[in-house]
Amino acid sequence: MINRLQAAAAAVALALPFAAHAAVIYDNIPGTPDSGNCAFSTTCAADIGDGDVYAAQLFTLADAVTIESAAFAELDLEQYGTSVNWKFYLADGGGGLPGTLVTEGSSDILSSPSIGTSSGYNVSLNLFDLPSVSLGAGDYYFALQLVSPFHETYLTAGVSGSGGAQSNDGGAIWFDGYRRRSSIAVALYDNNVGAVPEPATWALMILGFGGAGALLRRRTVAA
């Protein structure tokens, strides 16, 4: 009985990074991540002489929203970055690329649960909070730069067939596509990641509820 409960708790815990974000504003995280490129990491970009690299993904809003958290998928050797630099741009640059900067900041990565493996690498979903970014209807880019001491951290390709962009100078000049990728794997949510219990906490809670239920059933049978 306990083994079955543990298995169920583990399954739910793995699903929580997605279930916790009930209101998804934009989701480009693929079910089976493609390989990525290490220029997304600050360490890797410096190592290969690419400068101040940002990767960005185009998204469209039909209505005004407030974005409070985000995520990106990453291939790694279970060596995670510490924080992420992010920017929101209007898609009003030349050729529909990032143009006017709306807002920017830096956020600590709060959780990096594993969501699978690809090409011999772990695939993690890096979750972080944003300071309530309010955007009206329109076309935007969400740009990211992973702050990491590790070379082998790779931003994965998104499920979309278009919308990726790259800058090698911190966002001054943008190019279509990201390292021969048509898009990047990011997601935006309207709730705060920090307000949601960690997956391990949920797993223990579920296990406790299951154990309590089993005990009650045993008492009922005994009576």
Residues 165 and 216 in one domain: no
pLDDT band at 204 (very low <50, low <70, confident <90, very high): very low
| Burial category of 216 from C-beta neighbours within 10 Å (exposed 0-12, middle 13-18, buried 19 and up) | exposed
The residue range of the domain holding 186 is: 21-195
Side chain identity at 156, as an amino acid letter?
T
Residues 73 and 25 in one domain: yes
Residues 6 and 114 in one domain: no
pLDDT band at 108 (very low <50, low <70, confident <90, very high): very high
User: Is the confidence at residue 189, as pLDDT, over 90?
Assistant: yes
For 163-179, the pLDDT digits (tens) are 999 998 899 999 998 87
Written as one string, the DSSP assignment of 183-206 is: ---EEEESS-GGGSPPHHHHHHHH
Residues 217 and 137 in one domain: no
What is the reported pLDDT for 35?
A: 64
Residues 15 and 78 in one domain: no
List CB contacts of 37: < 8 A, sequence separation 6 or more: 154, 155, 178, 179, 181
Give CA–CA dist 121/77, Å, rounded.
6
Q: What global pTM score does this model have? A: 0.76
User: Is the confidence at residue 219, as pLDDT, over 50?
Assistant: no
Residues 49 and 145 in one domain: yes
Residues 49 and 92 in one domain: yes
Tokens 């630099």 locate to: 85
Sign for the CA dihedral angle at 60, 162, 103, 40 comes to positive
Strand spans (E) along the chain: 24-27, 36-37, 54-61, 65-76, 83-90, 101-111, 114-118, 121-135, 138-147, 153-156, 164-167, 175-176, 186-189
Write the CATH number for 94.
Answer: 2.60.120
For strands 186-189 and 65-76, give the pairing.
antiparallel
Domain tally for the chain?
2
pLDDT band at 209 (very low <50, low <70, confident <90, very high): very low
Residues 12 and 49 in one domain: no
Residues 51 and 73 in one domain: yes
CA gyration radius for the chain? 20
What is the reported pLDDT for 39?
A: 62
Helices 199-222 and 2-19: crossing angle in degrees, nearest 10, is: 140
What is the reported pLDDT for 81?
A: 77
For 110-167, the pLDDT digits (tens) are 988 888 887 788 888 899 999 999 999 999 999 999 888 777 777 888 898 899 999 9
Residues 166 and 212 in one domain: no
Residues 4 and 67 in one domain: no
For 79-101, the pLDDT digits (tens) are 777 899 999 999 999 999 999 99
Residues 96 and 42 in one domain: yes
Query: pLDDT higher for 88 or 39?
Result: 88
What is the reported pLDDT for 7?
A: 35
